[in-house]
Structure 1
Amino acid sequence: MSKDLLLEIGTEEVPAHVMPGILAQLKENAAKAFADSRIACGEIRTIGTPRRTALLVKDLAEKQEDVSSENRGPSVAIAFDADGNPTKAAQGFARGQGIDPKDLVSKDGYVYAMVHEKGKETSELLQTILPELICGLNFPNNMRWRDLDFKFIRPLRWIVALYDAEVVPFEVAEVKSGNTSRGHRFLSQGDFTIESAAAYEKACEENFVIVDQEKRKAMIREQIEEVAKKNGGKAEITEDLLEEVLYLVEYPTALCGKFEEKYLELPPETVITPMRDHQRYFPVKDADGKLLPLFITVRNGGSEHLETVQHGNERVLRARLADAQFFFDEDRKKSLEEHREKLKTVVFQQGLGTMYEKSERLVELAGFIADEIGADEKAHKHAQRAALLSKADLVTGMVTEFTELQGIMGREYAKLDGECEKVAIAIDEHYMPRFAGDNQPQTEAGRIVSLADKIDTIVGTFSRGKIPTGSQDPFALRRQALGLVNMLIEAKWNVSLSKIVAKSMDLYGLTDEKAREKMQADVADFMRLRLKNVLEAVRYDVVDAVLENVDDIYAVSLRAAAVAKFVEMADAAANIQAFVRASNLAQKAETAEIREDVFAADEEKALYDVYKSTSSAVASLVDGQDYVGAIDALKELSRPIDAFFDAVMVMDKDEAIKNNRLALLKAIDSLIIKVADFSKIVL
């Protein structure tokens, strides 16, 4: 037999961004707790609102599963005396197992206790499991209240614990469990009784609480779309904002507000940012994607007094937009280049100078990168101009007030200053990607400045010894490096990271050779890990096979793709085994010189001939980044390698012959390694 279980944890309003993690954590912990306690169950769900976190378990068995175990004790010789009587050792073991010594079983020279543990009633076990689930939740920040020795994300106000219709009695932080919940803070009559676990969601809804977040989310989306359509527009619904609003309300009602059309003369982002990021409003656009003087907000309540709520929200947004207009007008009293002078007062990082000095370095580094990728004169000029102005908007009033607009305001102000469109776009793009899943820079100038900015930050921060460790990454270097790796792959740029890092060190004035060598090694290791993340869809051993040299990120990604394709082929194993045989002995080579006059066997002459014909082909294919073709060319070596090993003893007594054979294998291995270290492949 089985019953449904409900655990509802009632609190003060929990921050919206924390709720998804709490629900996931509670579900995972509950599944483990029931498995560890040998209690069979069906579907486990966690649902919630700002004021309640609920666990719903279907078909939770009424009893713990029985368990039988065979526990080994002392040897028979120690357990029984000469007359077959149990010794103190046997008696102590039996007592510890909860059985009589006469019930011990002899087997394989040892005594065993056959223990059968009868399962306990689930209703009894839940009295321990449920409070442990509550107390076992972890949060980014905790609160204490009253004089309780108990911490939780928000004060605990009520607990509902029902096993079917039966209350599971326990107490946490002086709050006793029961069957009484609380309805919507303003719409309901207050407390209400839940008759059973199965009746929970309906009872909540009757008290103006849509407790299932997926149902609530669908309601919010549908209402927003309907209200926008009714007002002649289409709402711009981002998943991040929808997810946040979802955990701000228990009973959602969407409504439309308006603002003065004069604010549409501002750049769209300056209107959308205070609307969306600060007020949690959804922008509304027309069929052409142009912003309308409308917004949609979602209240935590019903449809009563919507006009009053609308006017209140309009008043708040009007103040925000008036601020934006003021900052915009003040900023426009100077050009972006004039604003740049103020960067001399803004510290980049302690010990790394000002943002003005950083922008000076970016100009030089952007020019160097432009040369490295073979950019034309215009792109070179655009990149350096964008680099010069890239940080100027940081000191504007608009970005000081709305930090999310860095780069965006630089772009808009550059356009208004009459800067080239490509320069303006590059100023914005150099921050990309700003977050996981964000777009990559699409213009050449934007990519150049983005690469320069990220390398400058990484090299500068590393020079201070601030290499990210564990979860500590205060300067978001991992995100920047990951963006850099993805950008190089998307742009299909063959650039030498070590050259760019070396140039960056020059600009920082790092001259100590040992420090420079360490910097190159540290940056390479850091990039290697980021590249490994980017290539996570590729077999781990394939990735390991191409990661030794990460100087050219794009080339590594191409090699990984080629090797991944190769290892799935029917002849891969035989070819790889041959490559690895050559590689294993190649490490013992003491000279690189191959002398044809020393060859003593036809097989080594044949292998050398194939190597010579293959070598130039592989080199050409690798230079052209046709790694699939290079692997096909390397396959020509496979049979001659096997024939060579079958016919000759590499480690010949004659030193000249031995060294010549090792030199040949070394040459072959050096050719193969241009594509991959096949010894890392798991066959």
Structure 2
Amino acid sequence: MSDFLLELGFEEIPPSQLQPVVEYIQNSFLNLMKSTALSYSALKVSSTPRRFFLLASSVQEKQEDLQVKKIGPAKRVAFDEKGNLTPAALGFLKKNHSKAEDLYIETTDKGEFIALNYVQTGKATPDILKDWIYELIPHLPFTKTMIWNESKMALARPLRWLCILWNEEIITLEIAGVISGNITFGNRYLGLNRPVKIDSPAVYLSTLQENAVLAERAYRKEKIIEQLDGLPLENGLQIIPDKQLIETVTDLVEYPTAVSASFQEKYLFLPDKIITSTISQNQKCFSVQTKDGKLSNKFIFISNGNPDFSEVIRKGNEKVVDARLADALWYFQEDTKQPLEAFVPQLKEVIFQSRLGTMADKTQRIEKITEYICLLLHLDTQQKELALRTALLCKADLVTNMLGEKEFTKLQGYIGKQYALAGGEPYEVAEGIYEHYMPRGPNDSLPQTLSGAIVAVADKMDSVCGIIGIGLIPTGSADPFAIRRAANGVVQIIADREWHFNLFSLIHYTLELLKNYTQLTATAEQDVQDFFHQRVEWLLKQLKLDYDVIDSLEHLALNDIPDLIQRAKALQAYRAEEDFIRLVIGFKRVSNIINGEKEFVPLKEDLFQQEEEKILYSELLKLRDKIDLCLRESDYKGAIRLLIDYGVFIDNFFDAVLVNCDAPELRANRYALLKEIKNEFLRIADISRLVVETNKNEN
């Protein structure tokens, strides 16, 4: 058994590119071991910004010899009339690296075939690994690549060294002009041209650590957390937790040292998120707050440099942070010299989408959709004015200095909120400007203000209807305008707010509005409806509702989303009860009988011949009135209970009455009766789509 080390040395690779490659290398090696039937005792695969490594312990030194039996072409195909081997037989021999004298005839149930039976000598593991490495490196899954020399190999960054060892021996190969050896390199601050010899795989990690490289990512992350937790901070100051930033800095350094620094207190005048965005997003530093939650002028950075020179490094980081905050302060002061509304006309200079106009056009549409939603919700004048003011200002921050310089683009909405507050806008308007982008992702919260919720729906409806309306329907792999996320946000907000309005009407209004700005496809309205059907289904799945319960409400999906959820939960609550299952079975029979019918005659009571059909209809009339009351009160459990009670009359009808009788007029009238029953049930749900277990002995 031998140990194996593969280290690929690069110039610094962006953090986002590291983990997918680590997983790829590991999976590729595991597949190799499986396909070659080689064993090993332990495996480590990890990365730093400058290297990927794989360490495998106690790897089997060669494959076992293998007894191989191969069946070739039929004997009649393998030999010609003179007994000579045909091209088919020669191809079989060539493929299996064999000679004619190795052939024998194998007799089977299907006839006679030429065959080979030989011992395949196992290959030496270093030879197998060498072939694997040649195949591995060109296919590393970097999302962005570059070509840096005449080899034309495309990788994320130039390949600088290869350290490949089989115990103490070098597995020699050359890739992209780099020859493998037993040499690696330590931390950059020790010198880029200072080679470090690795005597064996067993000492690889310890040798690197002696040269200021913690090569194992998990260990490096652990050390960063330990240092952050143990850093002495005065006056009860606390590092603001940021799990994502910890992940990022882990992939930015090889030998972490946590260092405390500070910026000038005058910058605390800026809104908090502008400061933390500068520190955390741009500079990858940790923000610090006081024990009562106020932002401090202290920050913590993770150095990759020589710990002995942390003071010099600290001053350099402070200088950069101060410069960035100075820019932000200038942007803020310049922008707030005028009210946020003054920026609205400049939105004419920003294109939303080439066929859907500018951001000014989009803002106009958002205002009109907002007004329509206010009408649907029957809001009073004061609340309507707040929502419309929010709609007018919601995109204005896009053309401010703060966002125009592209350094703070992730703060759109937040900048608008701060500028609105600075300009004296009502709090709900300012908060609504910030909230109208919510939810930004699957784990984001929903708008808390009514104005924010209304404008969020208006903005997202405009985007969804506009993009789909011009034919850019998202696919499984392409959704460049994030339309799926926007539509999810619409249905989430409507459900959360329990807004009882018809989504069909909002879709229709938005598309009619868009026709004033662009030409829509002939199928635009149906396409948007279908898209929202999918999003409503997605929402119901998030609520852990059964798929067939969702199917049973498909015909009501866009009518009233909060109402739909109540229906679904009521069905879910009843679906396991025996009497409800009997009802479903009876209703399936109703549906199945009339499913093929396209036209129905008007129902005539005077054609009822049997007592059971008369009772079925009279009870249906009573049921209709009772369900009317339940629907007015949104009492769906009560409505389902009424349907269950009515189920006995359906059963009695089928026991006594032959629906498909010989008399055409009588048969058509009974179809009409079943149609009326189905229509009544559909007011609640199409329970024929529910999957239930029935007694196998039942006829």
Q: Which residue of 1 aligns with 2:470?
A: 464
For 1:580, give the aligned amino acid.
K
CA contact (8 A) 2:511 2:525 kept: no
Q: Which residue of 2 aligns with 1:482?
A: 488
CA contact (8 A) 1:541 1:682 kept: no
SS of 1:255 mapped into structure 2: strand
1:129 offset after TM fit, Å? Answer: 1.9
Residue 228 to residue 352, structure 1, CA distance change in 2 (3 Å): farther
1:528-543 map, 5 Å: 528-534=533-539, 535=541, 538-543=545-550
Per-residue CA deviations over 1:110-143 (Å, capped at 9, x if unaligned) read 7695867755443332222233222222222111
CA contact (8 A) 2:336 2:423 kept: no
Residue 322 of structure 2 corresponds to residue 313 of structure 1: no
Counterpart Cα distance in 1 of 2:448 and 2:306: 45
Counterpart Cα distance in 1 of 2:658 and 2:641: 28
SS of 2:357 mapped into structure 1: coil
CA contact (8 A) 1:228 1:284 kept: no
Q: 1:137 aligns with which of 126, 140, 148?
A: 140
For 1:453, give the aligned amino acid.
D
Residue 524 to residue 232, structure 1, CA distance change in 2 (3 Å): same
CA contact (8 A) 1:411 1:427 kept: yes
1:326-341 map, 5 Å: 326-341=330-345
1:562 offset after TM fit, Å? Answer: 4.6
Q: 1:368 aligns with which of 368, 372, 375?
A: 372
SS of 2:162 mapped into structure 1: strand
Residue 188 of structure 2 corresponds to residue 185 of structure 1: yes
Q: 2:419 aligns with which of 399, 404, 413?
A: 413
Residue 16 to residue 658, structure 1, CA distance change in 2 (3 Å): same
Counterpart Cα distance in 1 of 2:182 and 2:103: 48
Counterpart Cα distance in 2 of 1:238 and 1:454: 29
1:434-449 map, 5 Å: 434-449=440-455
Q: Which residue of 2 aligns with 1:380?
A: 384
Counterpart Cα distance in 2 of 1:658 and 1:324: 80
Tell me whether 40-49 or 476-485 shows the greater mean CA deviation.
40-49
Q: 2:592 aligns with which of 581, 584, 595?
A: 584
Residue 196 to residue 420, structure 1, CA distance change in 2 (3 Å): same
1:495 offset after TM fit, Å? Answer: 3.0
Counterpart Cα distance in 1 of 2:624 and 2:53: 66
1:194-209 map, 5 Å: 194-209=198-213
Counterpart Cα distance in 1 of 2:603 and 2:70: 67
Q: Which residue of 1 aligns with 2:159?
A: 156
Residue 679 of structure 2 corresponds to residue 670 of structure 1: yes
Q: Which residue of 1 aligns with 2:667?
A: 658
SS of 1:439 mapped into structure 2: coil
For 1:207, give the aligned amino acid.
N
CA contact (8 A) 2:259 2:314 kept: yes
Per-residue CA deviations over 1:403-423 (Å, capped at 9, x if unaligned) read 222211211122222221111
1:615 offset after TM fit, Å? Answer: 4.5
1:352 offset after TM fit, Å? Answer: 2.7
SS of 2:590 mapped into structure 1: helix
Counterpart Cα distance in 1 of 2:609 and 2:116: 72
Tell me whether 530-539 or 580-589 shows the greater mean CA deviation.
530-539
CA contact (8 A) 2:416 2:434 kept: yes
Q: 2:108 aligns with which of 81, 88, 106?
A: 106
Q: Which residue of 1 aligns with 2:523?
A: 518
Counterpart Cα distance in 1 of 2:231 and 2:72: 74
CA contact (8 A) 1:340 1:356 kept: yes
Residue 193 to residue 500, structure 1, CA distance change in 2 (3 Å): same
Q: Which residue of 2 aligns with 1:7?
A: 6
CA contact (8 A) 2:9 2:159 kept: yes
For these two proteins, the number of residue pairs brought into alignment is 679
Residue 91 to residue 435, structure 1, CA distance change in 2 (3 Å): closer
Residue 682 of structure 2 corresponds to residue 679 of structure 1: no
For 1:428, give the aligned amino acid.
Y
Percent identity over the alignment is: 35
Counterpart Cα distance in 1 of 2:584 and 2:181: 66
Per-residue CA deviations over 1:144-197 (Å, capped at 9, x if unaligned) read 111112111111112233445554443322323333222111137933233444
1:334 offset after TM fit, Å? Answer: 0.7
1:33 offset after TM fit, Å? Answer: 3.7
Tell me whether 426-435 or 337-346 shows the greater mean CA deviation.
337-346
CA contact (8 A) 1:235 1:284 kept: yes
For 1:484, give the aligned amino acid.
V
CA contact (8 A) 1:430 1:446 kept: yes
Residue 613 to residue 198, structure 1, CA distance change in 2 (3 Å): farther
Counterpart Cα distance in 2 of 1:651 and 1:69: 68
CA contact (8 A) 1:30 1:133 kept: no
CA contact (8 A) 1:187 1:301 kept: no
Counterpart Cα distance in 1 of 2:65 and 2:580: 51
SS of 2:19 mapped into structure 1: helix
Residue 600 to residue 377, structure 1, CA distance change in 2 (3 Å): same
For 2:109, give the aligned amino acid.
K
For 1:192, give the aligned amino acid.
V
For 1:478, give the aligned amino acid.
R
Residue 369 to residue 295, structure 1, CA distance change in 2 (3 Å): same
Counterpart Cα distance in 1 of 2:182 and 2:580: 65
Residue 100 to residue 449, structure 1, CA distance change in 2 (3 Å): same
Q: 1:391 aligns with which of 391, 395, 407?
A: 395
Per-residue CA deviations over 1:508-567 (Å, capped at 9, x if unaligned) read 34599x958722211122223334444255554554444454313444444454555555
Counterpart Cα distance in 2 of 1:14 and 1:447: 41
Q: Which residue of 2 aligns with 1:53?
A: 52
Tell me whether 48-57 or 673-682 shows the greater mean CA deviation.
673-682
1:450 offset after TM fit, Å? Answer: 0.3
Q: Which residue of 1 aligns with 2:697?
A: none
Counterpart Cα distance in 1 of 2:654 and 2:173: 75
1:659 offset after TM fit, Å? Answer: 2.0
Give me the TM-score of the superposition, normalised by structure 2.
0.86
For 1:675, give the aligned amino acid.
A
Residue 503 of structure 2 corresponds to residue 500 of structure 1: no
Residue 648 to residue 114, structure 1, CA distance change in 2 (3 Å): farther
Residue 92 to residue 604, structure 1, CA distance change in 2 (3 Å): farther
Give me the TM-score of the superposition, normalised by structure 1.
0.88
Counterpart Cα distance in 2 of 1:164 and 1:532: 57
CA contact (8 A) 1:9 1:156 kept: yes
Counterpart Cα distance in 2 of 1:561 and 1:4: 59
CA contact (8 A) 1:94 1:104 kept: no
Counterpart Cα distance in 1 of 2:585 and 2:69: 47
Tell me whether 569-578 or 3-12 shows the greater mean CA deviation.
569-578
CA contact (8 A) 2:436 2:455 kept: yes
Tell me whether 332-341 or 440-449 shows the greater mean CA deviation.
332-341
SS of 1:211 mapped into structure 2: coil
Counterpart Cα distance in 2 of 1:80 and 1:644: 77
Q: 1:404 aligns with which of 400, 407, 410?
A: 410
1:303 offset after TM fit, Å? Answer: 1.8
Q: Which residue of 1 aligns with 2:696?
A: none
For 2:136, give the aligned amino acid.
L
Counterpart Cα distance in 1 of 2:65 and 2:650: 62
Structure 2 stretches of 5 or more lacking a match? 694-699
CA contact (8 A) 1:592 1:667 kept: no
For 1:21, give the aligned amino acid.
P
Tell me whether 545-554 or 421-430 shows the greater mean CA deviation.
545-554
Q: 2:253 aligns with which of 245, 249, 253?
A: 249
For 1:582, give the aligned amino acid.
V
For 1:161, give the aligned amino acid.
I
Tell me whether 136-145 or 20-29 shows the greater mean CA deviation.
20-29
Q: 1:345 aligns with which of 327, 346, 349?
A: 349
Q: 1:550 aligns with which of 553, 557, 565?
A: 557
Structure 1 stretches of 5 or more lacking a match? none
Counterpart Cα distance in 2 of 1:6 and 1:213: 17
